[in-house]
Every structure is written in structure tokens, then in C-alpha cells.
Chains A and B, each alone.
Chain A
Amino acid sequence: MSTDTNVAVETQFCTFHLTNLMFGIEVERVQEVIRAQPMTGVPLANPVVEGLINLRGQIVTALDLRRRLELPARPEDLEPTNIVVRTSVGQLSLLVDRIGDVVDVDQATFEGPPETLEGVARELITGAYKLDGALLLVLDTEAAVRLPGVV
């Protein structure tokens, strides 16, 4: 993630929503987006681990981003969407409320994490792009999938 504002590079982000916030992940990290999948819970695992899904024969661990970002729990009737991402620890699915568009952003509109963010979210957000009428919060994917207490 470059914060070099001198070069006006266009970067593409895959956007998604959690509560009333809009986030973005670099497009090249995203392998695919799939609707809610049957989930197998893993007892005694880190609470952020929502469970395991079957991705065409591969077993992929799904992390609940709401819980990771310490946001309020997702309402029962809201089926989460899986964003399957490639990370340094392999394929993972990130559960989000709703998937958004892929947007092009201008580096010039980038700023540090907004003051309104608190706690753990602040550590996992590298900054924000000021879009028209909304802030796009950039998720530090690698940091987000590194769970406290899990090597």
C-alpha cells in the first residue's frame, strides 16, 4: 500500500460494507466473491474464526470481519458475503455484510485513518480515500488476518 501522494496512480479497490462503513481491499488480493456458504463452526477456536467453508473441494477458513474490527455483531437475518482473498498465510474468506463495486481511486484523495475510528479498527485501517459522498477505508488485509494469539 503506497501512501506516496506525489504520484497520481490510479488504484483499484474492491469495496464492501460493514455496518454503515465502506471498506476497500486491493483488487489484486481478491480471488473471488461468493454468497453465503454453509459454514462449519470450529469449537474453541478464536472467536474471529467463523468457521470453515468448502470452496470447490478446498477447505477455507472464514473470518468474521465485524468481529475482527470489533464492530457490533451482524444481525441474524443478514447473510454475510464471502470475499476470498490471497494472503501470506494462504486463502482465506472474509465475511462482510455486503459487497460493493470495484472503484478506481486517485492517490491524491488519500488521507490517514480518520479520527472517528477507534480501537482495533484504527490499527487495521491504513487510511481513507475521500470519494464523493463517502469515505473508502482501506483495510490492511495482512494485519486483519493476523489474529492476536495466533501465530
Chain B
Amino acid sequence: MSGIDEIVGEFLIESYENLDRYDADLLALEQDPTDAEVLSSVFRTIHTIKGTSGFFGFDQLEKLAHVGENLLGRLREGELPLTEEIASALLDTGDTLRRMLGVIEETGEEGDLDVSELAERLTRLYEGEAPPADAVAADEPVEVADEPVTAEHEAAEVADEPPAFDAEGNPIGRIGDLLSERGKASPEDIAAALEAQQSGDARRFGEILVNKGAADPEDVEAYVEEQARSSGRSVSDSSIRVDVGLLDELMNLVGELVLARNQIVQLVNDEQDSRYAGASQRLNLITTELQEGVMKTRMQPIGNVWNKLPRVVRDLSLAVGKRVDLEMVGQETELDKTIIEAIKDPLTHLVRNAVDHGIEAPEVREAAGKPAVGQLTLRAYHEGGQVNIELSDDGKGIDADAVRDKAIKQGVITAEQAARMVEREVLTLIFSAGVSTAAQVTNVSGRGVGMDVVRTNIERIGGSIDIATEIGQGTTIKVKIPLTLAIVPALIVSTAGDRYAIPQLSLIELVRLEGEQARTGIERVHGSPVYRLRGRLLPIVDLSRELERRGEHDEEREVVNIVVLHADGQQFGLIVDDIHDTEEIVVKPLGSHLKDAALFAGATIMGDGRVALILDVMGIAERARVVSETRERADSTEQFAASDITVTERKTLLLVEVGDDRRAAIDLTEVERLEEFDVSAVEWGSGREVVQYRDAILPLMRLADALGVGGGYLEEGSMDVVVHTIDGHSVGLVVGKILDIVEQEIRIDHLDDRPEVLGSVVVQGRVTDVLDTHALVGAGGQDSFGSYAGV
């Protein structure tokens, strides 16, 4: 690269950066047109581009910048107000300048981009004229390089303006000053030239001086160059620009180093010599620091993506006749560059969507008692090794029913499926192809990526997307993404003799069941294994079963290791044979033969050099139908019969069969445990039926007898028992059969004269009594049960 190319390159980079700020400044100016500081900044940007492009001989660029500058000059003098039209024209100027810079970057030449129309528009605005009645005719190019353009020129400008500033706000040395300071021209001559210029001399400042013989042409040229150069020297000396490709390569190398380090550390563990241990310890530390350092170089504030959004919101809200205020919180939140790139389009789409579909037209908002200006808030923050991005609007919200109808109409789901879905699931349908709730398709909704692509893109980088909405109040979309892709912390587990890595991102906690617990901790509800984790039923997935590797898998485990994970907002427990360490793993993609292996997100190389697969937690949840579990439960959520309503409550109920085909429901929070005893285990003590249970005696109560429905006594086999604990005393309720667990709204009508029944509901099409366990046990003589305590 020759010297001049380098300078041009620097000019391009500077100008791009300045133009980005130019956009932001203009938008800020629209909010507060009186901010002189921001206006100066806008002015300086264009001014600098004009000056430097003139120096390089990019005439078109200079001309456009010049008319833009003229217009800005009038704004700055307070001669023109910043109208929407002017702002739009100035923003378009920025876009066009960018395009022209792009052409220069590609070809090194200015190209022949036609700027006459835009220049004319700017000039017209500059002159304060109303736009002509007919649209600007393209075949009537206005000579841009006309009077107002040539009237003042670069050098003149610099001399008679207050000192110009470069991007960092440092004054750029004026040619006049430079010349006089170094004794190349007398202050008198300079003052005279200035005066001549101000009184209408159209020549360049330097030109005037040279023509008068007051300065050497070579000196002027040298200083003009120096001046132009000084405007490109704004990058702080403490930073350098590095090619992203180089950083990518460094990252790959560090990835390899991490693998080698892991291997060495493992080898040294088997080695007795302490010198090796010391060296490997150091290698370990240095590698970790190097990895962090290299990762840091790739980190960028999320604001780099966001800074395009105010413009998107502005243009779009103007186009669709809405008023939207965009607030951004947490711009400084840092993310890996590759991730920043990956979320750019999805995020833009979400913002467009919010403006187009979320926020209502001003008159609609006012009618609904909301401020006419819609509020859109973008928030980013770190949380547990990942970044959350929330986009909330105070718009109309999403009508789940409308989504449902649309999805059925579009054939995305069937009516039966729809009936079984809970609201959250319905909402996620907007991420399916072909589902849009827009009453009418605007030119916005048809453009760019669809919501399905948004989700796909976000999930591809290991992120997730969630949606919450309230009709009339607004919608919040929450996107969770990992900090970095290349190296992630992961938990190493093993099952059926193979190791697997589980990204820490999906991990919630680890549960280890031993001894008695290992045998009884996993209960079954309706055939599905569950574990009671702090009062909540956690669906259990057996990894070896899902992977169809049953090797050493056995029902009778000594120890049960449960890895509690979350996927798509659902928690579930994954049973594995062994849990090992947490390790930094380098994610490598799987070959094309394994692309559709939904259970694996990639592979990595472990310390011993062997390959381990990385589990795709979402894929496992889907395969094990953990995610769809709510669907089946929702299936049984139906209307209920009671009409005399006093209290409404949403409860999770355990459905049991009692006696001869009758059903009853028990509030799950009252259920301590579900057990199965052999009929022969029933003994007799203190006048009651009892069983030995967990080193104590558990009194039994026949639910069929208590409810007076009779039947249900078995001669042999096993019986289902619901263990209920009150005040530290346990009672086993003998039921005919444990049927299911459902979530249901129950309205308790105390009209029922039976004290042991809270009320009746219809569950799965059948009238079911909801039992009051306390009253039941009390009626059975709680004192007599209590006497067994501590035995």
C-alpha cells in the first residue's frame, strides 16, 4: 500500500465513523433542535469530509458535502429551523456520502454516482424554498458546482471560520496560522487575504496569498497537506486498528492452545515429578489469561449494533405515521464480535416489528388514554455469563387468540393442537413461518427477515427468545445470547461410557440422590418420571435412554445424578451416570453427515485428545417431550361445573381414582410423596392399618372408606399411596390408582356439605371432588395418627 493509499484509507475509516455519529447527532438534534453543541458536531463532520475530499480531489464528494454544509450553516446561524424535511435530506446526504465513500473504497476512484438531485434538494432547502409542486425531474440535473458552491472554498473556509475541529474536537491548524507562525507569510498579508475573501473574493485563501506574492506556492501546498493530514490524525495514539481476520485467526490459535493445555494438564496429573506440575500450572494460568485477553480484543459494545436503530425507528415511524421514542439502556454491554454480527439483523427486525405492529398510531394511542408518542425501550445487560437483550414497547400487545386463529388458518397448527396450547406456547407461534398478526401487510412487514428467521438466527448462536405481552399494555421480547461462541464453559458428564459436554448456559443446578433416595426419589406420574425439587415437580429425562444407549443403565442405581437444565423456559432434570468437572471447551461444528443430529450442538476435543459431543439441551428437551408436557396438561384444563362461586384459585392437582371408578383430586402442595406398597406389607397396629416406611410406621387411610364410596380392597398386588404430612406426622392415603397431574383453576364452593370436599371441578370431562386433606385426616382422627410419630 502506497503512502497516499494509506491516507485515503484512513480518511475513509474516519469518515465512516464520523458519519455514524452524524446520523446519531442529527436524530438527537431532531429531539432537541436548540442543542448548539450537537449542531456544531454535525457541521464539523460534513466540513471535515468536504475539506479532506477536496484535498484528495474527490470533486463530487466535495460538492455534495459542500451543499450540505451550506444548509447546516444556515441552521447553525439560526436562519432556518430544523424541519423534518431538512433532517431527512441531511440524513440522505449522510447515506449518499457513505455510498460514495464505498465506491472510493472499492475502486480507489470516485465513480460517477449522480448526486445532482440530492444536491438540488439541499440547495432548495438552503434557499428556504418550498419544494416544487411537481416532483424533481431526474432529467434536469442542476449544476452542482454552481455559484454557492464555488463562492467559498476550502482554504477560505478554514481561514474565516472559527477554528475547525477534527473528530476528537481538537482544532485543526489553520493555513493562515501555520503560514504566519512559521514566518512563511506576514500577518498583514494574511489579514488582507482574509479581508479580500470576506468581501467576496472567490479564490482559495492560499491562492490569494500566492497570487499576491505574499507566500510561496510550495509552502501553501505543504501546509494544506499538513492541515488535511491533521484532520485524519484523530485516532488516539493509544489504539491501533487491527484486521478482524487476524483476530479470528488468533482466536482459533488460542482455541487450539486451550485444547493442548487441557491435554498437558491431564498428562501432568499422572506424573509424579513436581517440576512438570509447576510448569503446567504456569502454562495453565498463562493460557487462561491469553484466552481472556484475545477474547477481550473481540469484544465490542452492543451499542455498535444499536447505533443504527434510532435511524431505523425514525425512518420507519415517519413512513407508517407513528411517533416513537427509542430509549437505549446498556449500550456499553460487551459481546463477541461474531455474536454482534449475528444479532444485528434479528434485532433490527424486532425493532421494525415493534414500530410497525406493536406501537399504535398516535390517534389510536390517545383514544386509549396513552401518550401519543410510543415508547420503545432497548435494554442490554450481563447475567450469568450471558447477555440479555430486552425490547419492550408500550403498544397494543399481541392478541394470543388472533395468533392462534391465524396459525390455524395458515395451517401451521391444527385446531386440535391449538386448543391444547397454553398462551405462552401460542405466542411463540409468531416465530413460525407464515404467522403474522398484522391486519394489513405494510411494505415493512414484507421486507427483510421474518420472525421465524429471527428465532432461527438467535438459536443458531446458542441464544433463546422469549415473549411476554399484555393486550393494550405492550410487548416485551427477551433475547438471551452467550457472550462468545468459540470457547464456552461446559459441564462434562458421562453416560453409557461416553462423555458429553453440556453448555453451562443451560445449567441450573446439580442434584445427587443417594441410598434410599436414589431408589425412591424419582417418582412416576402417569408413567412419566418426575423429581420433587423443592416442592416443584421436575420432569426427568434419562440421557442414556434418549440416546438409546442403555449400556450400564439400570433401574436400581446406587446414586442418581440429576443435571437440572432449562430449555425454552422449561426446567427438566437430566439423569446421567457421572458428573465430572466444568471445563472450557472449544466448540467445533459437526460434519455434514451429522447436521440433522438435533441432540448435539457440536463436538469438542477433551484433555485426553478424544472427541466428546456437546449436548443440545433444547434438542433433548424436544425429543423427550419435556417442552410439550404442558400441552398435555393443558389438554385436561377445561371448564368446570360449579356455578356458585366464592373463590377462584389456580392449583396443581393430583388426580386419583377412588373405589369403583370414582375420581378425586388432591392439591399437589399437600402431597409429600407418592408411594407404592405391596398389599402384603400392610400390618395392623393400634387398631389401624399401617406399613413400615422409611424407618417409621406410616398409618394408612383408605380414601374410599373415608369418602364412603366403598370398594377398592385388593387381595394381592400393590396399592398406590399418597403420603400426606401435617405437622410432621405422615399419613398414607390409599387410593385406587394415581391417574395424572393437572393444573386447573378451581373455584371453591363451600356449598358442599361434606367437610372433606373443598369443591367439585370437571377434569378431563369428569366431575371430580377436590379433597380437603386436612379435614379428611382430621375426620379420621388425627390424634391417633399423631401417636405414631417418632416411632
- Write the residues of chain A forming the contact surface with B, with a CB cutoff of 8 angstroms: 38, 40-46, 49, 51-54, 57-61, 63, 89-92, 145, 147, 150-151
Contacts and interface: CB of A to CB of B under 8 A. Distances in A.
Interface in B610-658: 610-613
B256 interface: yes
A59 B593 CA distance: 13
A111 B345 CA distance: 55
Contacts of B256: 57
A38 B610 contact: yes
A143 to B, nearest CB: 14
A117 B609 CA distance: 40
Contacts of A61: 590-591, 593-594
Contacts of B599: 43-44
B597 interface: yes
Interface string B596-615: 11011001010001111100
Interface string B574-603: 000000000000001011111111011001
A54 B594 contact: no
25 contacts: A38-B611, A40-B603, A42-B594, A42-B613, A49-B593, A51-B611, A52-B611, A54-B609, A54-B611, A58-B588, A59-B611, A61-B590, A61-B591, A61-B593, A61-B594, A89-B593, A90-B591, A90-B592, A91-B591, A92-B591, A145-B593, A150-B593, A150-B595, A151-B592, A151-B595
Nearest to A52: B611
A90 B590 CA distance: 11
Given A40-B610, A44-B547, A44-B548, A54 B605 contact: yes
B644 to A, nearest CB: 54
Contacts of A52: 590, 603, 611, 613
Nearest to A91: B591
A89 B591 contact: yes
Interface string B544-568: 0001110000000000000000000
A89 B593 CA distance: 9
B259 interface: yes
B258 to A, nearest CB: 11
Contacts of B5: none
B498 interface: yes
A54 B259 CA distance: 11
B596 A150 contact: yes
Nearest to A49: B593
Contacts of A42: 594, 597, 600, 613
Given A52-B611, A54-B611, A43 B603 contact: no
Contacts of A150: 592-593, 595-596
Interface residues of B, number: 24
Contacts of A46: 593
Given A52-B611, A57-B259, A41 B593 contact: no
Contacts of A38: 609-611
A59 B597 contact: no
Contact of A54 (B547, B548, B595, B610): B610
Among B547, B591, B594, B596, max chain A CB count under 10 A is at B591
A38 B592 CA distance: 21
Contacts of B596: 150-151
Interface of B: 256, 259, 498, 547-549, 588, 590-597, 599-600, 603, 605, 609-613
A59 B605 CA distance: 8
Contacts of A57: 256, 259, 605
Contacts of A90: 591-592
Contacts of A45: 593-594, 597
B592 A89 contact: yes
Given A42-B600, A43-B548, A61-B593, 5 more contacts: A43-B549, A44-B599, A53-B611, A57-B259, A57-B605
A49 B593 CA distance: 8
A40 B548 contact: no
Nearest to A90: B591
B602 to A, nearest CB: 9
Contacts, number: 72
A128 B138 CA distance: 70
A60 B591 contact: yes
Contacts of B605: 54, 57, 59
Contacts of B590: 52, 59, 61
A134 B377 CA distance: 75
Contacts of B547: 43-44
Contacts of B591: 59-61, 89-92
What 10 A-B pairs are tightest by C-beta distance, nearest first?
A: A43-B547, A61-B591, A40-B611, A52-B611, A89-B592, A59-B588, A38-B610, A59-B603, A61-B593, A54-B605
A116 B357 CA distance: 67
Contacts of B595: 150-151
Among A42, A145, A147, max chain B CB count under 10 A is at A42
Given A57-B259, A59-B611, A41 B498 contact: yes
Contacts of A147: 593
Nearest to B547: A43
Contacts of A44: 547-548, 597, 599
A47 to B, nearest CB: 11
Nearest to A149: B596
A41 B547 CA distance: 11
B4 to A, nearest CB: 43
Nearest to A61: B591
Contacts of A58: 588
Nearest to A58: B588
Contacts of A59: 588, 590-591, 603, 605, 611
Contacts of B611: 38, 40, 51-54, 59
Nearest to B589: A59
A145 B597 CA distance: 17
Contacts of B612: 40
Nearest to B600: A42
B597 to A, nearest CB: 6
A150 B592 CA distance: 8
Nearest to B609: A54
A147 B593 CA distance: 8
A124 B61 CA distance: 62
A145 to B, nearest CB: 8
A58 B593 CA distance: 15
A41 B599 CA distance: 13
Among A44, A46, A53, A150, max chain B CB count under 10 A is at A44
Among A52, A89, A92, A151, max chain B CB count under 10 A is at A52
A34 B130 CA distance: 79
Nearest to A40: B611
Contacts of A53: 611
A151 B599 CA distance: 18
B149 to A, nearest CB: 57
Contacts of B593: 45-46, 49, 61, 63, 89, 92, 145, 147, 150
Among B593, B595, B605, max chain A CB count under 10 A is at B593
A45 to B, nearest CB: 6
Nearest to A89: B592
A31 B600 CA distance: 27
A56 B754 CA distance: 75
A38 B611 CA distance: 8
A53 B609 CA distance: 9
Among A40, A41, A43, A44, max chain B CB count under 10 A is at A43
A49 B498 contact: no
Contacts of A40: 498, 603, 610-613
B257 to A, nearest CB: 10
Contacts of A151: 592, 595-596
Contacts of B594: 42, 45, 49, 61
A40 B259 CA distance: 17
Nearest to A150: B593
